[in-house]
Amino acid sequence: MLRIIVIVIIVVLIGIQFVPVSKTNPPVTGEIQAPAEVMEILRTSCYDCHSNESEWPWYSNVAPVSWLVISDVNEAREHLNFSEWDSYSAEDKAEDIEEIWEEIEEGEMPLWFYLPLHPEARLSDAQKEIIRKWVESGGPES
Ligand code: HEC
């Protein structure tokens, strides 16, 4: 019985690898402009989800993990996409800038489950301070 269950699980796991998925990196149409030290933080800690320059890790090729990764990236881009920043209204930009600091201050971003696999994305106090100052000084000129 156990053997049959194991075989069924293996067959299902193999089968779902053939479900088509679309991992996309659309063109960068209007990237956010910020001082180099801010850009470095955003690129290292946020861009995999909030940009069109996602680096897709190996496990994003393996279902069902791939489904989760892709849906997170799509959702993250919908909320905030640093590669399409120019398409936002001045009002949306101002709101997003505020929210960037709120999410970081509350420790909500980067998403916790991303960090064990991307330890370099964890923000140090010094990096948080750089973001806080940037946000409080108004962020990028819009
Ligand atoms: C592993 C993917 C991932 C990473 C990395 C990530 N985010 Fe997010 N982010 C999301 C997802 C998914 C959402 C939408 C769902 C939610 O709010 O939890 C989101 C939402 C947001 C929002 C919008 C919240 C709202 O209510 O509209 C902001 C602002 C944000 N992220 C900022 C950041 C910043 C700044 C970083 C880098 C320090 C970052 N995120 C890193 C996945 C990510």
CA-closest candidate to residue 44, choices 123, 113, 111: 123
Q: Does the pLDDT of residue 141 top 70, yes or no?
A: no
Atom in ligand 1 nearest the alpha carbon of residue 72: 12
Q: Rounded to the nearest whole angstrom, what is the distance from the C-alpha of residue 1 to the centroid of ligand 1?
A: 44
Ligand 1 atom closest to residue 47's alpha carbon, by position in its atom list: 5
> What distances in angstroms separate CA 85 from CA 5, 6, 69, 99, one per listed residue?
49, 48, 22, 14
Which residue is associated with the tokens 């989760």? 68
CB 34 within 8 A of CB 131: no
pTM confidence score: 0.94
pLDDT for the residue 10: 97
Per-residue pLDDT tens for 69-127? 999 999 999 999 999 999 999 999 999 999 999 999 999 999 999 999 999 999 999 99
pLDDT of residue 86: 96
Cα 12 to middle of ligand 1, angstroms: 32
Burial class (CB in 10 A: 0-12, 13-18, 19+), 82: buried
Q: Which residues line ligand 1 (CB under 6 A)?
A: 45-46, 48-50, 72, 75-76, 79-80, 96, 99-100, 103-104, 109-111, 114
Contact by Cβ (8 Å): 98, 104: no
